[in-house]
Structure 1
Amino acid sequence: MSVYRKIAEVGSKFISKATLFKYGFNLSPMYRRSTGRIKYVSDDLLDITIKIPISYKNKNYVNSIFGGSMFSAVDPIPMVQLMNLLGDNYIVWDKSAKVRFKKPAKENLYADFQFTKNELDNIKSLIEDQNEMELIKQVHLKNKDRSVTFCEVQKILYISDKKHFKRKKRKK
């Protein structure tokens, strides 16, 4: 078990999962280096918003936000969000990602990560029938009023029933 999961396990006994998610990410060294900050987490963890403020820490050679900062601020959120939403009976991991830069970002960027209860029910139903699946989540990095897209990130997540995953792992 990772140190982050241990902190989450112990911390959730004292504060809400949403608060722990927000401050856990914002204080963790691995996420701080991305220059992204989680600004909002709904109580049910279905909605998360991040901000990537433009600063000297993430400006590139042409004074726009470095693409690596954009991707690294987005990268861990969907997987960890879904892990928390589905619970311990499921395995969730990042399988791949595709990044498409649309225009140079010379202002603060925002991204919204959302799952619906219906989407979670569909995932659980598919896992019950098929034991494993891949889920594609699209995230857009936009300006504050969400009118301009600067970057699109497509994440492919692998999801499996924990028992199935262990059986499959033993066969290899």
Structure 2
Amino acid sequence: MQLFKQSFHAIAMHHRLAKTIFNLWPPFLGAGIRVGRISPDWRQVEVRLRLGLTNRNYVGVHYGGSLYSMTDPFFMLMTLKNLGKDYIVWDKAGSIDYIKPGRGTVTAHFQLDADWLEQARAATADGSKHLPELCVDITDRHGEVVARVHKTLYIRRKQDR
């Protein structure tokens, strides 16, 4: 994990290179998680999970841990890439609501808009922490919601050194 963090942070991390690294990262590779797209501005990410032998549960549908894993780092990384190195951004909390059994390929579409980023900058301008809550739906091939993931981020502007 430490090597992944160093590699990910050391490189200016072009969105295409990041996609390749994610798709080769052992936890994603083993679970069948694939990053389909990262927009050049890091404001949109699409992640897919195909049902297979390595990610199905006892009753033959998507294992809940794999569904959560496919969403885990993206809001944090997207926020960090958009706010820049003057900010500390962490995942503070997360939860998942299972809506219906996941079968076949499921997809999560992440999006950050400019207004949300401006609100985060404004909320942290004086050095205060900001704990925004974000949500992403995991949908099946018919667009029906399989699970809803809630994430709370910790955002704070770094103090001048």
Report the TM-score when normalising by structure 2. Answer: 0.91
User: Which of 6, 24, 33 is the aligned partner of 2:30?
Assistant: 33
The letter for the 1-side match of 2:6 is: K
Task: Measure the CA separation in 1 of the matches of 2:85 and 2:5.
Answer: 11
Match of 2:55 in 1: 58
Counterpart for residue 3 of structure 2: 3
Aligned partners of 2:9 and 2:77: how far apart in 1?
Answer: 14
Flag structure 1 segments of 5+ consecutive residues without an equivalent: 167-172
Question: Which of the residues 137, 142, 147 maps onto 1:140?
Answer: 137
Deviations 1:93-136 (A, max 9, x none): 11111110011111210000100112111111111046211011
Conserved 8 A contact 2:87-2:156: yes
Aligned residue-pair number: 160
Partner letter of residue 71 of structure 2? V
The answer on whether the counterparts of 2:38 and 2:45 sit within 8 Å (CA) in structure 1 is yes
Confirm or deny that 1:101 pairs with 2:107: no
Gaps of 5+ in 2: none
User: Higher helix share goes to which structure?
Assistant: 1
Instruction: Give RMSD over aligned pairs.
Output: 1.8
Match of 2:114 among 112, 117, 125: 117
- Contact 1:51/1:109 (CA < 8 Å) preserved in 2? yes
SS of equivalent residue, structure 1 residue 75 = coil
Contact 2:127 2:157 in 1 (8 A): no
Letter in 1 for 2:121: K
Q: Conserved in 1, the CA contact under 8 Å of 2:99 and 2:145? A: yes
Larger radius of gyration: 1
By how many angstroms is 1:65 displaced?
Answer: 0.4
